[in-house]
Chains A and B, each alone.
Chain A
């Protein structure tokens, strides 16, 4: 089993709708979870991090963590064309962070 798994996409979502991105991880000891956004040709930038079970909201973004199911998700409300990017899920393993391969999100105008 891969350490951090994401559906590669592309995930196509109409403008104004909710985009839902999912990630599963294998290490039950992981305690830190991150979502990065990466535009084509650019470097990843952090948009959300979550440490505790439940939801964390920041503007249009909500991160959800379920440690029992080893599942992290990112919801983007009122999706905009500028949200079109690759979203990387990252999880700590010991003293490192392991990245998923990312999900490509395409917001349809």
Chain B
């Protein structure tokens, strides 16, 4: 079974803090994704990566950055957290872009106070 893990299930941070969300997959997938999910807005793509050290902006990259130093690990960074970044963050991975299904991690519920 594909396993995607995320570093925290729940996280509380203060405005202005730098926040790191970690995601690890164990199936040697090429592609990894970060989404946020908010009520009424659905899943929105923040960034994705199709190879080590490669990254592409999704639909809402503002206020976020990413890092992929190893194939199995994809990190999402909030440089200076703001209250409007309070959300559920979901990491996913897939073998190939778009034609293959994405497997999701359990999610991190981030609250920024």
The count of chain B contact residues (Cβ–Cβ below 8 Å) is 19
B90 and A97: CB pair below 8 A? no
Nearest chain A residue, comparing its CB with the CB of B97: A95
Size category of the binding interface on chain A: 20 to 34
A53 at the interface (CB under 8 A from B): no
Contact pick for B104, options A43, A94, A95, CB 8 Å:
A43
In the bound assembly, the distance between CA atoms of A48 and B40 in angstroms comes to 23
**Complex interface bits, A15-33 against B, C-beta within 8 A gives 1, otherwise 0:** 0000000000000000110
Contact partner of A32 among B48, B99, B107, CB < 8 A? B99
**Extra pairs beyond A96-B58, A97-B102 (14, CB < 8 Å):** A32-B99, A42-B107, A44-B43, A44-B90, A46-B102, A46-B103, A88-B43, A93-B98, A94-B98, A95-B97, A96-B48, A96-B97, A96-B98, A102-B42
Residues of B within 8 A of A99 (CB): 42-43
Contact pattern, A 33-44, Cβ under 8 Å of B = 1, otherwise 0: 010000000111
- Cβ of B45: which chain A residues have Cβ within 8 Å of it? 96
Which residues of A lie under 8 Å from residue B104 when comparing CB positions?
43-45
Bound state CA distance, A97 and B35, in angstroms?
Answer: 11
Within 8 A of B (CB), among A52-109: 88, 92-97, 99-102
Residues of chain B with a CB closer than 8 A to A45's CB: 104
A49 partner, pick from B40, B58, B101, beta carbons under 8 A = B101
B98 A97 Cβ-Cβ under 8 A: yes
CA distance A42 to B48 in the complex (A): 21
Given A43-B90, A43-B106, A43-B107, A34 contacting B43 (CB threshold 8 A) = no
